Amino acid sequence: MIPFAVWHEGIEEGQARWVLAVDGEHVLLADSEQQFYWKALSDCKFARLAGPDQPRLVMPVTPVGAGGPGLALPNRAERRRIEHNGF
């Protein structure tokens, strides 16, 4: 599926929500409070398309080993900052 965004009543003019999933005649969206909700596609207007020619953010991820994620301990400078500031 090519990512696309829609606008519907209740969203500020000029704003849109990216469609996370399509199920028949409904689309799954997320609001500004990070809550998921379904909306009828017939209640939405097309707003934007992220075509294959547009760049996408790519973040390198290191695979987790067989033992699971390791524990990251703060270095000496970070421990001093934590002790001094209390967090």
> Range with the lowest mean pLDDT among 6-15, 31-40, 72-81?
72-81
Distance, CA of 57 to CA of 65 (rounded, Å): 25
Phi–psi pair at 72, nearest 5 degrees: -90, 115
pTM of the full structure: 0.59
User: What is the pLDDT at residue 77?
Assistant: 78
Cα–chain-centroid distance for residue 67?
A: 28
Residue with tokens 């409904």: 26
Q: Give strand ranges (E) for the chain.
A: 4-8, 17-18, 21-23, 26-30, 36-40, 44-49
Distance, CA of 40 to CA of 83 (rounded, Å): 53
